[in-house]
Structure 1
């Protein structure tokens, strides 16, 4: 039998969930992103963005 491979799917959070998790305002997150002090958002569609949960977890653990 072949070995079972567990594939973990990346989770993406929209701004509301990010703000609740991090506790920062939209303008603070935007400023920190521009300064390279916060994970970059990912373009999901023409008008939607989100952040990778793994990037946010890494950022929080490094603070």
Structure 2
């Protein structure tokens, strides 16, 4: 079984910053996430989520080829 990547140095981005960096709307972020073509969100609390910065940067580098 593969171990999870070490995320200690990875920042978490909230939706506002994700939208700013990707140019996508909130609806598009969630739609693409559900389709597996955008990084998965990480729950931070009952009503709070974020995305790992490294995954967002990977998406930005190849938005049409990204697969979660």
Q: What's the TM-score, normalizing by structure 2?
A: 0.76
Structure 2: runs of 5 or more not aligned = 1-7, 64-68
Instruction: Name the counterpart of 1:23.
Output: 23
**4+ long deviations beyond 4 Å:** none
Instruction: Name the counterpart of 2:59.
Output: 59
Instruction: Name the counterpart of 1:38.
Output: 38
Residue 27 of structure 2: SS of its match in structure 1? helix
Q: Does 1:50 align with 2:50?
A: yes
Instruction: Name the counterpart of 2:66.
Output: none
The offset of 1:52, in angstroms, is 0.2
Structure 1: runs of 5 or more not aligned = 1-7
Q: CA RMSD in A?
A: 1.1
Q: What's the TM-score, normalizing by structure 1?
A: 0.81
Write the distance in 2 (CA, Å) between the matches of 1:13 and 1:22: 12
Deviations 1:12-42 (A, max 9, x none): 0000000000001011111100000000000
